[in-house]
Structure formats: C-alpha cells, structure tokens
C-alpha cells in the first residue's frame, strides 16, 4: 500500500506524535509498504512534505487564506485571537495539501483533528482517510484559553475547539483512539458516534529504544548515595511539573536521599526554575533541557514521575516501563489504563501535592517495593507495547478500509 502519514503539528518536533509517525513509517516500510510524511514546518510558516523536502509557504497562499477567513467572520468565535491564529493556519494547511497529488495514496492517516478536518474537507474519492487522535485538543485548548491565555473572548473561543473536535473525529472512515477514556470523552462530550471509533493502543519500537542504552557509558552518573527521580516531557502547565516541584519541597523536609532530573523544554522553563529556587531545591533539581539520550537517562533513574493535569497515552510512560522503572502518574486522562496501581506503578489524584509526596517517599524508602513495581512494569510493557502487534492491528484497519 501507498500510505501518507500526516499531521498539522510542526515536524520534526520533540514529542510523542512525531516519534510515533517515524516508528510507524519504519515498520510499515520494513513490511514492504511505501510511506510518506507530511506536517507543518517551522513556526507554521509552511506545509512540509517531508518525503520530498517540499515546502508550500503560507505567504504564497495569503490571498486565498484571507478570502476564506473573511467568509468566516460572521462566526462569533472568530473574534478570539487564538481561534483566528489556529484557523488561519489550518486553512493554509488545507489549501497547501489540495495542491498535492493525493490520489496516488491508498491510505491517508492523519494524527490530529486539524489535519483530519482539513483532509476530510477535500472529499477525496480515491484514498481512504484514517484518523488517529492522540488526545483531546478541545480539552487542552480550553485549559489554555481559560487559564493561560485569558481574554474577553476566551469563553466563546472554546466553542471553535468543540466544533473542531467533532469535525476531526468524524472526518475519517475510521477514527482510532488509544484508550477508552478518550473514546468516552468523544462520545459523551462531543457526540461522536461510538461506531466511528476503534480503540487501538500504540505499538512501540522496543528493541531500537533499548539498544540505545550503553551500560559502559559513564557520561551521566547519579550522585553518590542519591536516588534519581526523573521527569521527561514538555515544560508546559498541563504536564504538572509545578505540582512535582511542590511535592519535592515537602519531601525535602523528611528525606534527602534523592535528586530530581527534569528533562525537556517549554514555555514554563524559567518559571519552574524560579519555583525550584524559591523552594530551596537548586541543589536537588537539575534541569537538563532538551536531550536525545532519554534511554540512557532512564537507565540511570530509579523512579519515573508524570504528574499531568491532562494526558492521553504518553510515550514517556511507555519508555519508562520497558526500561523497568516504577512510574508514579496522575489519574488524568488515559494514564490509569497504562498503570495497575500497586503492581506496575502508583496512581495519585491529579494536582494532589501531598499524595504525590507520599508516593515518592514510599518508593524512595523501600527499594524492594520499587524493584517489584519496576520488574512488573517491564514484563507488562514488553508484551503490551509490541510494535509488531500494534502495526499488524493497524494494518487490519487499513485493509478493512481499502479492501486490499
């Protein structure tokens, strides 16, 4: 089959969607399929057809984009600047992809509601459209509008993302979600028909990830006598790193046999550094920034923590599990479907500083329990996250859509 994997998000980027697309491409090509990649380019300036290094700049489409935007000004949500920004770039993306030779594909597999809506609007007669939703854009953007980027139009702006969530979730022949949490959200809040959706967890290239761990590499070592608490991910409000730092502040009063490595970059970096400094944790929290050696860092860690406020099925937890690390996660979104509390990790209520502190304390003072959780997590993860199984299940969906 000829397959196009497409996203609205900027590529390449550090994050789960881009990693998923690349792993999926490699596995599909190993099975004899032809796979192209498409996304947005730097700063959403151009649509980027990665496989051919082709760039279609929004500046060259400005007249068409402005005309489309003008025709939408009667909609109340267009008064919100965030909505205007998003729709302007979505329109640019849609116009750009309409100029490509898309009829050559058997499958177009989108990775978000923006790209699914845009390809759906083209109403292509040949390729079958499949959509995977890696989370709820409406939930994340509502949080951004109502708490992070508050304006007089934020409330009405939320209705745009509600509409987009429904359109993106119903644009394809089949919509794939990673867990039952997201499926129920789409059914109950956005009225997406249940029969539209299939629950299919991600496959993960376990062997390639584990092969990146070099036991002889001593470039990263944990401080003598300390255990390492590790967080990896974007430094944005939704990841709950501010909750982690507050929990560590409380933990410091009763336990000092630890350091915390925070790996990633994002808009909250400086704010989080200041929070750590004000908590007197400068010597106990290390901000690593963006790193390419996540497997090596995980191999040095003792406990992995993800205290997210909103989450779907993060690759960071999958990575921690297959390396055999006990995970402490919040009960946000799809996380409880990834962890068996007390057996492969610990689950705490999102935003609950005291419960997070208590769970960290429990593992740091009980190495035997820590090991028990880590061993169980690895055994479960190696079986559950198999890339071969995940891709074979996905190919079943492709075949059912195309009859190939």
End-to-end, the C-alpha distance of the chain in Å comes to 8
Using the predicted structure, report yes or no on whether residue 404 has a pLDDT greater than 80. no
Using the predicted structure, report yes or no on whether residue 221 has a pLDDT greater than 90. no
Q: Are 55 and 41 in contact (CB under 8 A)?
A: yes
- What digits encode the pLDDT tens for the residues 44-82? 999 999 988 999 999 999 999 999 999 999 999 999 999
Using the predicted structure, report yes or no on whether residue 148 has a pLDDT greater than 90. no
Q: Are 132 and 16 in contact (CB under 8 A)?
A: no
Report whether CATH 3.40.50.300 matches the domain 2-203+387-402.
Answer: no
pLDDT of res. 16: 79
Cα 397 to chain centroid distance, Å, stands at 22
The ranges assigned to domains in the chain are 2-203+387-402, 211-384
pLDDT of res. 14: 59
Mean pLDDT to the nearest integer, 109-137: 97
Q: Are 136 and 157 in contact (CB under 8 A)?
A: no
d(CA 268, CA 88): 26
pLDDT of res. 114: 98
Q: Are 115 and 6 in contact (CB under 8 A)?
A: yes
d(CA 181, CA 197): 12
Mean pLDDT to the nearest integer, 200-225: 90
pLDDT of res. 51: 87
Class of domain 211-384: alpha beta
Q: By percentage, how much of the chain surpasses pLDDT 90? A: 92
Higher per-residue confidence, 222 vs 398: 398
pLDDT of res. 302: 98
d(CA 361, CA 257): 10
Say if 2-203+387-402 and 211-384 have the same CATH topology. Answer: yes
DSSP state of 365: S
Mean pLDDT to the nearest integer, 240-269: 96
Cβ burial of 253 (10 Å; 0-12, 13-18, 19+) is exposed
pLDDT of res. 339: 97
The mean predicted confidence, pLDDT, of the chain is 95
Q: Are 50 and 41 in contact (CB under 8 A)?
A: no
Report the sign of the C-alpha dihedral through residues 275, 281, 282, 288, in that order: negative
Q: How far is CA 326 from CA 220, 240, 261, 339, in A?
A: 20, 18, 15, 10
Using the predicted structure, report yes or no on whether residue 353 has a pLDDT greater than 70. yes
pLDDT of res. 44: 93
d(CA 11, CA 17): 9
Using the predicted structure, report yes or no on whether residue 403 has a pLDDT greater than 90. no
d(CA 348, CA 2): 44
Dihedral angle at the C-alpha atoms of 327, 330, 331, 332, nearest 10 degrees? -120
Assign 133 to helix, strand or coil.
strand
- What digits encode the pLDDT tens for the residues 127-147? 999 999 999 999 999 988 998
* DSSP result, 213-279: --TT--SS-PPTT-EEEEEES--SGGGTHHHHHHHHHHHHTT--SEEEEEE---TTHHHHHHHHHHT
Mean pLDDT to the nearest integer, 158-169: 98
**Which residues, in sequence order, are CB contacts of 363 under 8 Å at separation 6+?**
302, 303, 326, 328, 346, 369, 370, 373
Percent helix, strand, coil in the chain, to 5, is 50, 20, 30
Whether the model clears a pTM of 0.85, i.e. scores above it, the answer is: yes
pLDDT of res. 276: 98
pLDDT of res. 355: 98
Q: By percentage, how much of the chain surpasses pLDDT 70? A: 99
pLDDT of res. 67: 97
Using the predicted structure, report yes or no on whether residue 183 has a pLDDT greater than 90. yes
* DSSP result, 81-127: HHHHHHHHHHHHHHHHHHTS-GGG-SEEEE-SHHHHHHHHHH--SSS
Beta bridge partners of 2: 34
pLDDT of res. 237: 92
pLDDT of res. 300: 96
């Amino acid at each position: 089959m000829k397959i196009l994997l497409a996203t609205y998000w900027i590529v390449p980027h550090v994050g789960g969607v881009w990693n998923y697309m690349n792993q999926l491409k490699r596995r599909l090509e190993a099975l004899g399929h032809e796979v192209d990649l498409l996304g947005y380019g730097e700063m959403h300036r151009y649509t980027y057809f990665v496989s051919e290094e082709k760039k279609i700049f929004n500046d060259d489409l400005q007249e068409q984009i402005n005309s489309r935007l003008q025709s939408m000004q009667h909609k109340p949500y267009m008064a919100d600047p965030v909505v205007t920004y998003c729709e302007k770039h979505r329109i640019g993306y849609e116009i750009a992809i309409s100029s490509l030779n898309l009829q050559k594909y058997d499958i177009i597999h989108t990775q978000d509601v923006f790209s699914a809506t845009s390809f759906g609007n083209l109403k292509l007669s040949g390729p079958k459209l499949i959509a995977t939703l890696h989370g709820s854009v409406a939930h994340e953007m509502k949080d951004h509008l109502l708490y992070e980027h508050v304006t007089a139009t934020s409330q009405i702006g939320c209705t745009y993302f509600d509409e987009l969530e429904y359109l993106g979730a119903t644009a394809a022949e089949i919509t794939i979600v990673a867990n039952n949490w997201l499926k129920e959200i789409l059914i109950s809040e956005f009225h997406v028909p249940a029969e539209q959706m299939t629950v299919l967890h991600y496959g993960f290239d376990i062997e390639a990830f584990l092969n990146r761990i070099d036991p002889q590499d001593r470039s990263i070592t944990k401080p003598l006598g300390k255990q390492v608490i590790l967080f990896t991910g974007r430094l944005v409000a939704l990841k709950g790193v501010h909750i982690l730092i507050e929990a560590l502040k409380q933990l410091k009063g009763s336990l000092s046999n630890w350091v915390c490595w925070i790996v990633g970059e994002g808009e909250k970096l400086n704010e989080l550094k200041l929070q750590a400094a004000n908590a007197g944790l400068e010597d106990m929290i290390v901000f690593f920034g963006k790193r390419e050696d996540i497997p090596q860092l995980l191999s040095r860690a003792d406990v992995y923590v993800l205290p997210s406020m909103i989450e779907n099925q993060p690759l960071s937890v999958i990575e921690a599990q297959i390396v055999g690390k006990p995970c402490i996660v919040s009960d946000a979104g799809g996380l409880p479907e990834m962890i068996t509390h007390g057996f492969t990790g610990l689950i705490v209520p999102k935003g609950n500083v005291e419960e997070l502190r208590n769970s960290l304390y429990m593992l740091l003072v009980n190495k035997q329990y820590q090991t028990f959780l880590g061993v169980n997590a690895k055994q479960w993860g190696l079986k559950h996250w198999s890339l071969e199984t995940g891709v074979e299940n996905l190919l079943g969906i492709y075949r059912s859509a195309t009859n190939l």
